[in-house]
Structure 1
Amino acid sequence: MDMLLFLVITMLVMFALNIPMYVSLILPPLVILVTQFSNLNPYLATQQLIAGVSAQALLAVPLFIFAADIMSAGQTSKRLIDFVESLVGHIYGGLAITTAAACTFFGAISGSTQATLVAIGRPLHGRLLERGYGEDDTMALIESSAIIDLLIPPSISMTMYSVVTGSSVGDLFIAGVVPGLIMLFFFSIYCYFYARKNKIPRTVRATVKQILTTLKDGIAALGFPGIIFGGIYTGLFSPTEAAAVCVLYATICEVFLYKSLKWKDFKDIALSSAVVTTAVFVLVAAGQLLSWVISYARLPQLIAELVLGSDPTALRVLITAAVFFFISGMFVDSLVAIVILTPIFYGPAVAAGVHPIHLGVLVVLQAAIASISPPFGCNLFTACAVFEQPYINSVKKLAPYLVILVIMTAMIIAFPQISTFLIS
């Protein structure tokens, strides 16, 4: 346990000193490798760093990021927003529901909460303020709606869980759809009653002609969920192939259909995607080294026995895992939390009879919740930067959404069929 204390304290100190996260993840296990395991060749650390980003499932990540960046630079997000608002804009909370639904649709392109927050949040932020929502209400809505895309395929967090556990990334993508839609439903119900209570103005009901016009303008963008979900579910192509198809489809939409981008624009888009991909892969590589060192030291078994006991039930494993992932995700990137904590809980969970895909959906849900949880949820800081608002505005009105997400967690734990019936 001394080794565990060293790892935890060292990383916390480095985080507090604002040392880059990848350094904070690589240096402590390197020190342990050199000082505690002299029988091992230190060059094994390099092998583990490379192994962390060598999994075939990770090939999909840069492609999905590239597709999302193409869409963000083009007109897809605007067309999605216009179509959804034409359907629900006239009801109480219609624009807020539009925000949540547009984030869900865009989640079928990006797989990143930050990308969705920027692509959907920017055009809707001003509209929500004009409609009568406060700044803090608007930020809470956008921050919370953006996390739905972690459950809607493609999801980078699901891909990472698949890499760590060897579970089918295709099954994970399919399993996340129903929980993601349930989250959208709960958010929409809250938005409806909030707008009705606070007398938020509604828009005039769109005519059939207006709906058909927005549908015509946005129908190409609506094809993404069909490509990803339909293609994977039917076995037409793998998740990695789906990512490549998405890049091609995004290019066709923005260059030839919408004519919003020119070929010269792709240089800057590709550079942006490369920066994001590099940041993700560096964290993944660092997390793999840390995970390997703690696994070699049998720390997962020690921690599991300490917090779970010698013969834990499935319910105890799931509740404990949810708490650990939620808390850790509040302080470190969710991808890092998945790489570090999954080996601790995966073995006991499977031994207790938990379906690996069920555990994966629960883990990703906790990563989503943590991304909007104070003090260090990543979406909070992204929203502050994008909307140029103080931190306090990003957290003031989050409580109702966090309560909904806690209820979602209880449902996923109590009813595993929610996340597994599509893959049964």
Structure 2
Amino acid sequence: MLAIMAVLMLLGFPMMIPMLVATLAGFLIYLPNLKTDIIIQQMISGISPVALITVPMFILAADIVTRGRTANRLLDLAMTFVGHLRGGLAVTTALSCTLFGAISGSTQATVVAIGGPLRPRMLKGGYEDKFVLALIINASDIAFLIPPSIGMIVFGIVGKVSIAELFLAGIGPGLLILLLFTIYSVWYALRRNIPLLPRATWPERFSAMRRAALATMFPVMIVGGLFTGLFSPTEVAAIAVIYALILEVGVHRAVALRDIPAIAYSTGLITGIVFILVGAGAAFSWLISFAQIPQQIIGGLGLADASPAVVLFAICAAFFVACMFVDSIVATLILTPIFMPLVMSAGLDPVLVGTIVTLQMAIGSATPPFGCDIFTACAVFRKPYLEVIRGTPPFIALLLLATFLIAAFPQIALFLPNLAFR
């Protein structure tokens, strides 16, 4: 099955085709006595969970705010408070990516919305382009952890883990990565002797706060609604769409009503791709589970009796390598059914595992050879592939350090879920 997938991927087929063909081939060869209707049933079952309604709504909300003025207002807010510090422009970039990620939940949207206006400023401020590009694509990964996160939604569906708890668990690791990137940015600015920018006055700060006040309500509504139990993830997604429309159409007037059909069409295309992948992944997952392939793999690797620490390391390594080569959602659909039985038998917290897995997705999206954020940066900034990835190793090292710290100190991720739900 893996060989079929590898060959079809190398031939350039969209990922949904290799997954479906491999599933069908495995079904016909190893389970010839079962009706193939089961494949269709499992695909439909895979896209039936109510929680998946959040995916198109969060994508739609992200599309609306990306075309509006929200990103620039958040950027100005971050600049007025940290722009004058050593490495202020770099810290502003990381902070803006975090704030915008809490609205869009999309790493690629964050690259476009934040990287576009900030890269020229950083180059003018004395930063090397390789550092600027690497910071933008890696800081955008924080959007994968800060809710809303499509990666967490997919993991929650496949692994049968609470999406609300996963959302809250991503906040601590997201802030940890922001802190690590801030420290590195300050060190870089000191080493390169980057000049300081003028300090913003308090009237300028108050003006930026007033202009960005409505935009900052996005994360407040999402996190506050989930933490208090006032809203479910599905309800939060619906509120995010309504609020995005009110903000960008009614208040900022940056998006016209005539633009909404085009935005909805774009959302529909992305949602269609995601849902076909989820459906194909559900059929694939059912087949390997029915054939007890996860048990054979785990037994063959000697992980059945391994300690929780070894199990967690194996999961991190598997997802880190897989997300370097295939789309993170595809890696989640394939690997999660294999490892979830092991997670439960080892006594690991599935919310902690989901957070660490999502972090590996984030790392993979900015890691050669096939990180999607790398190709987004190549297209947006019109830079060759090798130039975009030159500055990434230090940031990848920081992301791996964050993985180690979260595994060593689980409360970084579990404090908020424990406080709210346990």
TM-score, length-normalised on structure 2? Answer: 0.97
Uncovered stretches (5+) of structure 1, i.e. residues with no partner: 1-6
Q: Which residue does the alignment assign to 1:110?
A: 104
Decide whether the 8 Å contact of 1:312 with 1:348 is kept in 2. Answer: no
The CA distance in 1 between the partners of 2:129 and 2:135, in whole Å, is 10
Cα shift at 1:307: 2.0
Q: Choose from 28, 33, 56 the match for 1:62.
A: 56
Match of 2:399 in 1: 405
SS in structure 2 at match of 1:200: coil
1:292 to partner: Cα distance? 1.4
> CA 1:225 to 1:153, structure 2 compared with 1: closer, same or farther past 3 Å?
same
TM-aligned CA deviation for residue 262 of structure 1: 1.4
Matching residue's letter, 1:411: L
Among 368, 372, 378, which residue is 1:374 paired with? Answer: 368
Pairwise CA distance, 1:202: 2.4
The one-letter amino acid of 2:93's match is T
- State which drifts further: 411-420 or 164-173: 411-420
Please report how far the alpha carbon of residue 341 of structure 1 lies from its aligned counterpart in structure 2 after TM superposition: 0.6
| In structure 2, C-alpha distance between the alignment counterparts of 1:125 and 1:50, rounded to whole Å | 44
SS of the aligned residue for 1:204 comes to coil
Q: Is residue 2:188 matched to residue 1:233? A: no
Partner amino acid for 2:64?
I
Give the counterpart of 2:340 among 342, 346, 362: 346
Query: What is the rounded CA distance, in whole Å, between the counterparts of 1:142 and 1:300 in structure 2?
Result: 37
- Other-structure match for 2:10: 16
Q: Structure 2 matches for 1:171-182, cutoff 5 A?
A: 171-182=165-176
CA distance, structure 2, for counterparts of residue 213 and residue 119 of structure 1: 21
Equivalent position amino acid for 1:100 in 2: A
Determine whether 1:364 maps to 2:358.
Answer: yes
CA distance in 2, matches of 1:167, 1:272: 29
1:154 paired residue number: 148
Is 1:302 the counterpart of 2:290? The answer is: no
CA distance in 2, matches of 1:94, 1:272: 35
1:4 is matched with: none
Equivalence for 1:40: 34
Q: What do residues 256-312 of structure 1 show as CA deviations (whole Å, max 9, x unaligned)? A: 221212111111111111111112112111211211111111111111112243311
Per the TM alignment, residue 375 of structure 1 is displaced from its structure 2 partner at its CA by: 0.8
**Aligned letter for 2:177?**
M
Cα drift, residue 201 of structure 1: 2.5
Tell me if structure 2 keeps the 8 A contact 1:97–1:191: yes
- Per mean C-alpha deviation after superposition, the further-off stretch among 59-68 and 286-295 is 286-295
- Give the counterpart of 1:138 among 132, 146, 160: 132
Distance, in Å, in 1 between the alignment partners of 2:41 and 2:308 is 35
1:283 aligns with 2:277: yes
1:326 paired residue number: 320
**Contact 2:180/2:398 (8 A) holds in 1:** yes
- Given the alignment of the two structures, is residue 93 of structure 1 paired with residue 87 of structure 2, yes or no? yes
Aligned to 2:120: 126
The secondary structure found in structure 2 opposite 1:264 is: helix
- Cα deviation for residue 162 of structure 1 reads 0.7
How far residue 385 of structure 1 moved from its aligned partner, in angstroms, is: 1.1
Residues 320, 360 of structure 2: 8 Å contact kept: yes
**CA distance, structure 2, for counterparts of residue 261 and residue 110 of structure 1:** 16
Aligned to 1:335: 329
Letter in 2 for 1:372: A
| Matched AA of 2:397 | V
Match of 1:51, SS? helix
The residue identity in structure 2 corresponding to 1:123 is P
Please give the TM-score of this superposition, normalised by the length of structure 1.
Answer: 0.97
Q: Secondary structure at the match of 2:391?
A: coil
Give the SS at the match of 1:293.
helix
**Runs of 5+ in structure 2 lacking a partner?**
none
Partner of 1:311: 305
Count of aligned positions: 418
Matched-pair contact (CA < 8 Å) for 1:308–1:316? no
Per-residue deviation, 1:386: 1.2
Counting aligned pairs with the same residue, the percent is 44
What's the Cα RMSD here?
Answer: 1.1
Distance 1:242 1:52, change over 3 A: same
Whole-Å separation in 2 of the counterparts to 1:270 and 1:126: 31
Give the stretch that moved more between structures: 164-173 or 267-276: 267-276
Question: Do the aligned partners of 2:149 and 2:167 also contact (CA within 8 Å) in 1?
Answer: yes
Letter in 2 for 1:272: S
Aligned partner of 1:259 in structure 2 is 253
Q: Aligned partners of 2:285, 2:381: CA distance in 1, in Å?
A: 36
Q: How far is 1:233 from its partner?
A: 0.5
Distance in structure 1 (CA, Å) of the matches to 2:360 and 2:240: 27
Tell me the amino acid that sits aligned with residue 52 of structure 2.
L
**2:54–2:237: 8 Å Cα contact kept in structure 1?**
yes
2 CA distance for matches of 1:255 and 1:113? 24
Is the 2:303–2:311 contact (alpha carbons within 8 Å) kept by the matching residues of 1? no
Match of 1:206 in 2: 200
2:282 matches 1:250: no
Could you list the structure 1 runs, at least 4 aligned residues long, displaced by more than 3 angstroms after superposition: none
